[in-house]
């Protein structure tokens, strides 16, 4: 049984750079929860203390913590658990009227999400953070094999499952919108680009972005690039942020 959402009960801390956090932003808007769940955006420049707030790192769009005046996300975790030892990351996903997980399609959504998560959502990271050639090639080939499967699924379709936007679209979108922008260059996922090699995925991506405000309004390209290219010195020691691709997403 679902409880009626109530205002002044929830507050969401997000990084526009993080694909998992972006899921929460998309769902929050799709379900019309903007007035119920308040929001604070951290700086995309992730460091040793985790995500900094805007008062510590003045990046455009980053904000100060309005509730506890924290400097870093990690401080919020330490308030809840003084023994917390990891970096202060961003929590993941939300639920009200729009059904993104309709009962009739749950088996199909679950089956798709399982391999999209392992082969694409996580696969790009396994490719990007690989330190041996064989491990990199195994990971990157798995990514593109999975993208080939998605291309077949989306050919002639606007959505992954059931002819409507579902959780499966949200989960895949956050990786695909970052693909040409960050994963092709930073994570060496450069067998093909989305815009140049996958016409069905590219069409699906652009229709979600341009036709459904929740997707466009939750995507901030400057935050994405600042994080991926500026926060991984082992991969990009110069921290130079590439100008392209231009435009960051093609028109319909």
Q: Do 120 and 154 lie in a common domain? A: yes
pLDDT in tens, 41-94: 999 998 888 899 999 999 999 999 999 999 999 898 888 777 766 654 554 445
Active site residues: 18
Report whether pLDDT(3) > 60.
Answer: no
Is residue 171 within 8 A of residue 221, CB to CB? The reply is: no
Query: 14 is in which domain, residue-wise?
Result: 10-80
Whether 239 maps to a domain, the answer reads no
Q: Do 30 and 114 lie in a common domain? A: no
**Average pLDDT over the chain, rounded to whole?**
92
Q: Do 193 and 116 lie in a common domain? A: yes
pLDDT in tens, 189-231: 999 999 999 999 999 999 999 999 999 999 999 999 999 999 9
What is the DSSP code (8-state) at residue 239? -
Q: pTM for the full model? A: 0.88
List the one residue out of 76, 51, 74 whose CA is nearest residue 62: 51
Question: Residue 197: which residues within 8 A CB-CB, separation 6 or more?
Answer: 191
Q: In total, how many domains does the chain have? A: 2
Whether 96 maps to a domain, the answer reads no
Report whether pLDDT(1) > 80.
Answer: no
Q: How far is it, in rounded angstroms, from Cα 202 to Cα 238?
A: 31
Q: Assign residue 179 the CATH number of its domain.
A: 1.20.1050.10
pLDDT attached to residue 95: 41
């Amino acid at each position: 049984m679902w409880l009626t959402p109530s205002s002044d009960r929830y507050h969401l801390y997000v990084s526009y750079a993080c694909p998992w956090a972006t899921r929460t932003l998309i769902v929050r808007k799709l379900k019309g929860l903007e007035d119920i769940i308040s929001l604070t955006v951290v700086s995309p420049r992730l460091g040793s203390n985790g995500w900094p707030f805007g008062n510590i790192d003045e990046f455009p769009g980053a904000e100060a913590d309005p509730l506890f005046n924290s400097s870093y996300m990690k401080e919020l975790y330490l308030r809840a658990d003084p023994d917390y030892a990891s970096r202060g990351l961003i929590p993941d996903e939300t639920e009200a009227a729009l059904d993104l997980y309709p009962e009739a399609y749950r088996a199909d959504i679950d089956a798709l999400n399982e391999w999209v998560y392992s082969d694409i959502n996580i696969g790009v990271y396994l490719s990007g953070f690989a330190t041996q050639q064989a491990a990199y090639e195994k990971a990157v080939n798995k990514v593109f094999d999975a993208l080939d499967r998605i291309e077949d699924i989306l050919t002639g379709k606007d959505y992954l499952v059931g002819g409507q936007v579902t959780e499966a679209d949200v989960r895949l979108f956050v990786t695909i919108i970052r693909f040409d922008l960050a994963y092709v260059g930073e994570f060496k996922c450069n067998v093909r680009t989305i815009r140049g090699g996958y016409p069905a995925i590219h069409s699906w991506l652009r229709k979600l972005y341009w036709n459904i405000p929740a997707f466009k309004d939750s995507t901030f390209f400057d935050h994405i690039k600042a994080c991926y290219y500026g926060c991984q010195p082992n991969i990009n020691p110069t921290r130079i942020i590439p100008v392209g691709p231009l435009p960051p997403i093609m028109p319909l």
